[in-house]
Amino acid sequence: MKREYSAPGDEIETIEPVTVVRYRGYTRLNHWVTAGCMIVLLLTGLAFFHPALFFLTGLFGGGQNARWLHPLVGVVLFISFFILFLQMWRLNLPNRDDIEWAKHTPDVLAGREENLPELGKYNAGQKTVFWAMAGGIVVLIVTGVMIWEQYFPHIVSIPVRRVAVAVHALVALGIVFVFILHVYAAIWTRGTIRAMTRGTVTGGWAFRHHRKWLRELAGRQGNGPAE
């Protein structure tokens, strides 16, 4: 007699995977405008940084176009990031979880997520990138105005302007490294880019990387509609 292991009513049911909304549409648009400005500023800035890189101005129709485009895009970047900052600064404030996360940096690099503490929406690495970008962009806009001779020719003395040029270049170089790190981390952590393209992540991704955030969302929806 053939032995049966299932009871009546048992079946394999295919259901859609759980998805979690991480970023709303206007936040994603805001992010990509900021990223686009960063790329334009990176290319035009490198073109002015060293004569060997001046050929990059060809991407924008020549040196004259790059010269007026760079500061204008810098202003757009500042405004765009400021709007992004208003949306995210509270969630990027440091807390005790960040200290515990930092202590497990070797586990982070090795991908041993099970050894990490439960986290809110952002980890210490993401918060560091956020505040580094915020501080760097403020310095860039201030020094940028100081060296923008076309519109502000007498705002500072020539010696001060020379210092501002050096500071502007050094901080810009630092932001380039932070930007590259941000992009690399987004690619390295599978499923992260989806958050800024579709606005959602899978339930598994949220549980693995930001469990405390997921628990809060689940608890909030259990008590009523999500805000």
pLDDT at 12 over 70: no
74-95 pLDDT tens trace: 999 999 999 999 999 999 999 9
CA 75/CA 73 separation, integer angstroms: 5
- Contact between 41 and 77 under an 8 Å Cβ cutoff? The reply is yes
Range 148-186 burial, b when 16+ CB lie within 10 A, else e: beeeeeeebeeeebeebeebbbebbeebbebbeebeeeb
pLDDT tens digit sequence for 169-188? 999 999 999 999 999 988 88
How many CB atoms sit inside 10 A of residue 60's CB? 18
The whole-number pLDDT of residue 14 equals: 46
* Of residues 7 and 103, more confidently modeled: 103
> Does residue 182 carry a catalytic annotation?
yes
Q: What is the CATH number of domain 21-92+122-214?
A: 1.20.950.20
Spot the catalytic one: 70, 168, 182, 209: 182
Q: What pLDDT score was predicted for residue 19? A: 85
Q: Where are the domains of the chain?
A: 21-92+122-214
The mean pLDDT value for 42-55 works out to 93
Mean predicted lDDT score pLDDT of the chain = 87
| 8 A C-beta contact, residue 22 and residue 199 | yes
